[in-house]
Chain A
Amino acid sequence: SQQGEEDPQALSIQEGENATMNCSYKTSINNLQWYRQNSGRGLVHLILIRSNEREKHSGRLRVTLDTSKKSSSLLITASRAADTASYFCATDTGNQFYFGTGTSLTVIP
């Protein structure tokens, strides 16, 4: 399987804390994207980082990419209860589009 892996599988934090989740993948990529999924729904795009970029910011989101280690991290700062969801990384090879196993984030008010 080409599916990437994320860790931790589950993360529980207090509101206001930062949440960090990591993604490892297996193949060379054109870009890596992060998505959010609320229970039983489709996924929603959060942020994209291209293979020649090392870091990207969008609002409270910070993404890093290390292509030599085939890994990425997503940092959500100042978390809110509404951030409770599952988060997935997706790798685009230009042909196939694979998702990781996901991190379930719970933010406790």
Chain B
Amino acid sequence: DGGITQSPKYLFRKEGQNVTLSCEQNLNHDAMYWYRQDPGQGLRLIYYSQIVNDFQKGDIAEGYSVSREKKESFPLTVTSAQKNPTAFYLCASLGQGRTEAFFGQGTRLTVV
């Protein structure tokens, strides 16, 4: 089955730690996106990548970093510089026709 997988589903981070959220897709999509969603809020764009080895900042990139070494994978690192990282993180991919975004089930990150 083709799809997009995020892991872990729940993640706890201590103050000052970096954590990495995984996003893997087997849809052969070029474009991948990371969004942050706070309770009762919309999705805000963190980073996106249109092609391997290239990525661009979205509206709220500060305190986050990404890599795109493989077409299938677009991991997001939440660094200690992100002062309020507790949120729901969603990864999505778009095919060449850009007619439909496919989403993972999300990672809920909590700072403890």
The contact of A101 among B42, B100, B106, by CB within 8 Å, is B42
Contacts of B90 in A (CB 8 A): 42-43
B55 within 8 A of partner (CB): no
| Residue contacts A-B, CB under 8 angstroms, 22 given | A1-B59, A3-B42, A3-B44, A30-B98, A31-B99, A33-B99, A33-B100, A40-B106, A41-B106, A42-B103, A42-B104, A42-B106, A45-B102, A92-B98, A94-B98, A95-B50, A96-B48, A97-B31, A97-B92, A99-B43, A102-B42, A104-B40
Contact present for B105 and A41 (CB under 8 Å): yes
Task: Give me the interface of B with A, judged by CB distance under 8 Å.
Answer: 31, 33, 35, 40-45, 48, 50, 56, 58-59, 88, 90, 92, 94, 98-106, 108
How would residues 1 to 35 of chain A score, 1 for a CB under 8 Å from any chain B CB and 0 otherwise?
A: 11100100000000000000000000000110101
Interface residues of chain A, those whose CB is within 8 Å of chain B, are 1-3, 6, 30-31, 33, 35, 40-45, 48, 88, 90, 92, 94-102, 104
